[in-house]
Structure 1
Amino acid sequence: MGHELFDLEPRFKRDLEPQEMLRVIFDYAAKIAKERILDNVLMLMADMGRDMIVSDRCTVWLLDTKKNELWSKVAHGVDEIRIPSTAGLVGYAVTHDKAVFIDDAYTNDEYKPYLVNGALRTDQQTGYRTKALMVIPFRNNEGEIMGAYQAINKMTTNEQFSVKDMEYLTLAASYAGKSLESALLTHEIEETQKEIIFTMGEIGESRSKETGNHVKRVAEYSYLLALGLGMSQEEADLLKMASPMHDIGKVAIPDDVLKKPGKLTDEEFKIMQGHTLIGYNLLKNSNRHILKTAAVVAHEHHEKWNGRGYPQGLKGDEIHIYGRITAIADVFDALGSERVYKKAWELDRILNLFKEERGEHFDPRLVDVFFEQLPAILRIRNIYSDDNLEEHSV
């Protein structure tokens, strides 16, 4: 992380000097203050604690009061772990509001009841061997316990944490509680926005007798295509949140057109095309980044690379990349789904069409990315599959 710790032996490090400690704290405080994505804040918190006390691993646990669980996505080297809120040493620390400080988790008699079959619960899940360990609960601004810092295995020659280490980790925990409260609020707002957007997207689809799984699949396909194209994680997440709104304009299409089981007349087709402009006009005046993106998607997901799409007849790079990505995701899902007026296409037929439409309907680069991402796309289709869907996809 830019804080050099000189080896005493190949695998050992030394404790930080006071000026190095200050540099670590100031560097991480600046990074954390700028970060709004919860997972990134948690990772920075874990890195800060690890660097401050020279531990091998540091985990930030959060208390999920609804599920009575402790969870972490930032146990170094592993994916998300969830445990009962009373389980293990971290559960003990949080439940009893008491810091845990031990030299060897497997020989310490006081905490032996919190081992599972002679091992730490998380060690059982990860195969890791915990020796020295500290757990420090942290609180929000209301004084409520919201989680805990857990540091594992001191990396200096004596391999034991000191009282000074506990003071430093307690300082980090105090800072974590205050910083995480803001990040959690932002996260909650974003999750609420996602829920609203998916619900609105489902409303648009349900009027035409399609389930919400269509918008889920389109969202996931769009996300995979965005990442495959080289977009940043942040932009791919943004498109994933916005793409479910692509057909929101269908809420204003008359039932006799929207739900017609047979082929549309030219006049009816023109009415159906209006859902792109309706959706755009519904969303375009929002100041929210997600909804602005959704407005672009709603407006341009029926444009074609060759300029023969609608509503504006845009061509090539004139079409926003969000519209081009959602177009592929939407068409792939529509063709592979059964409708009252058609059977679902076989996969080979769809893939042949995509090859034929490379550079015609679809951005050629995105068609290439689609085929690169096809195994993951098919997994998503299987996860969110549904049967007997009835909807016009125009």
Structure 2
Amino acid sequence: MLEFQNEPQPIRLDLSPEQMLKVIFEYTAKIANEKKLDAVLILMANMGREMVVADRCTVWLIDAARNELFTAVAHGACEIRIPYGSGLVGSAISTGQSIFIDDAYEDPRHNPDNDLKTGYRTKSIMTIPFHNNQGEVIGAYQAINKLTEKQIFSVKDMEYLSLAASYSGKSLESIMLYEEIIETQKEIILAMGKIGEGRSQETGNHVKRVAQYSYVLAKGLGMNDSEADMLRSASPMHDIGKVAIPDAVLKKPGKLTAEEYEQIKEHAIIGYRLLHNSKRPLLQAAAIVAWQHHEKWDGTGYPQGLKGEAIHIYGRITALADVFDALSSARMYKEAWGMDRILGLIKEERGRHFDPQVVDAFFEQLPLLLEIRDCDADWLEKE
């Protein structure tokens, strides 16, 4: 069991007005420039802790689907979940009223279970609900254990934390809305990607696997989480341009004529044209993937005949992810290749079709790629 015993803390003084302004300006600027929910919540907790000179500050949010409250950020502790309405924080959120008490163990609403688990002694507590722009309570600050000589929170502390809560609640709503927009974009991209693949008799799991393969390869090449996730979210649109290719060509069972093959190749340009005018970074990334995933390292690909690093890294990664999945998956018109044959081809195409560094990352990450392939096998869609 992890223990978070109270560590002796030096007696501190409340912030001077100048120090308070410095903390407020520093954190509000950081929060305004942050787009990730987890990072904003950490900044909120840190700001609250510094403003009221507390040992810890917890940010609670409402999980309406589970009818629970949970700590998105809790200094010194992992996530905690409690039933909605329970405990001091539940009371504050359900009533919309702030609470501060000098000794938690003298208040029957305090639940000591987490103290018993961690060895931490909660004493003074201040809980401030925060609201969205419509005035609805969406969570609460909870400051624990004042570090000044008196060790209790004051009315002035409540005013300060209420100020932080007022700003943070509205900022938090904006971030949550931004993340909801991004998630909606991802869902739309995945759905559209499935439509594009469906027209060419591929399966929805093809685009899911290519997305996961692309993410793993990106991480293997040293991309940060944000950029790798961007590629994973964009790659399902790699063949979206197929929606404009005639069925007679796209679904032809036999060998294509030279003219028909040129029509098929148009899907890369069509996909790019569908997406590139968007100002959304995610759709811009999808446009690059659609345009360049058939380019080849040696310059013999299409539609532009780009060579080497002139091909965007998103295109180079998706090219290998797409080919690997196409070869290892059975379709109505072909059998899946054996793994030895696939790996042999990829080795042969290192420096020709594929970026050598991407190929090297592929073989380094092969166990994980095979795990993804097995987890998202096409037979799951046929049940």
Q: TM-score range by the shorter chain?
A: 0.7 to 0.9
1:196 and 2:188 matched: yes
| CA deviation string 1:73-123 (max 9, x = no partner) | 433466766554334443332112233434555x344215xx3xx614x98
In structure 2, the partner of 1:306 is: 298
Matched residue type, 2:62: L
For 1:131, which of 122, 125, 140 is the aligned residue? 122
The 5 Å alignment of 1:1-394 reads 11-12=9-10, 14-18=12-16, 19-76=18-75, 83-102=82-101, 105=104, 107-112=105-110, 115=111, 119-120=113-114, 129=120, 131-132=122-123, 133-154=125-146, 161-387=153-379
Matched residue type, 2:108: E
Contact 1:338–1:387 under 8 Å retained in 2 = no
Change (3 A) 1:374 1:96: farther
Q: Normalising to structure 1: TM-score of the pair? A: 0.82
Q: Which moved more, 1:172-181 or 1:94-103?
A: 94-103
Quote how far apart the aligned CAs of 1:295 are. Answer: 1.3
Matched residue type, 1:25: I
Quote how far apart the aligned CAs of 1:326 are. Answer: 1.3
Aligned counterparts of 2:220 and 2:205: Cα–Cα separation in 1: 22
Contact 1:104–1:130 under 8 Å retained in 2 = no
Q: Which moved more, 1:375-384 or 1:240-249?
A: 375-384
Change (3 A) 1:14 1:335: farther
In structure 2, the partner of 1:3 is: none
Matched residue type, 2:41: L
Aligned counterparts of 2:198 and 2:81: Cα–Cα separation in 1: 35
Quote how far apart the aligned CAs of 1:304 are. Answer: 1.0
Matched residue type, 1:148: A
| CA deviation string 1:294-352 (max 9, x = no partner) | 11110100111111211222110111111112112222222222212333334444334
Quote how far apart the aligned CAs of 1:246 are. Answer: 0.6
In structure 1, the partner of 2:4 is: none
Aligned counterparts of 2:339 and 2:88: Cα–Cα separation in 1: 51
Aligned counterparts of 2:341 and 2:310: Cα–Cα separation in 1: 29
Change (3 A) 1:13 1:243: farther
Quote how far apart the aligned CAs of 1:379 are. Answer: 4.1
Contact 2:295–2:315 under 8 Å retained in 1 = yes
Contact 1:262–1:341 under 8 Å retained in 2 = no
Contact 2:86–2:109 under 8 Å retained in 1 = no
Aligned counterparts of 2:95 and 2:69: Cα–Cα separation in 1: 14
Matched residue type, 2:113: A
Identity %: 63
The SS at the match of 1:101 is strand
Aligned counterparts of 2:150 and 2:345: Cα–Cα separation in 1: 66
Change (3 A) 1:259 1:227: same
Aligned counterparts of 2:79 and 2:232: Cα–Cα separation in 1: 21
Quote how far apart the aligned CAs of 1:34 are. Answer: 1.7
The SS at the match of 1:143 is coil
| CA deviation string 1:23-56 (max 9, x = no partner) | 1111111111122333322222122123323444
Aligned counterparts of 2:147 and 2:277: Cα–Cα separation in 1: 55
Change (3 A) 1:315 1:24: same
Change (3 A) 1:227 1:43: farther
Contact 1:209–1:389 under 8 Å retained in 2 = no
The SS at the match of 1:61 is strand
Matched residue type, 2:89: V
Q: Which moved more, 1:42-51 or 1:80-89?
A: 80-89
Aligned counterparts of 2:282 and 2:273: Cα–Cα separation in 1: 15
Task: Kindly tell me the number of residue pairs found equivalent between the two proteins.
Answer: 374
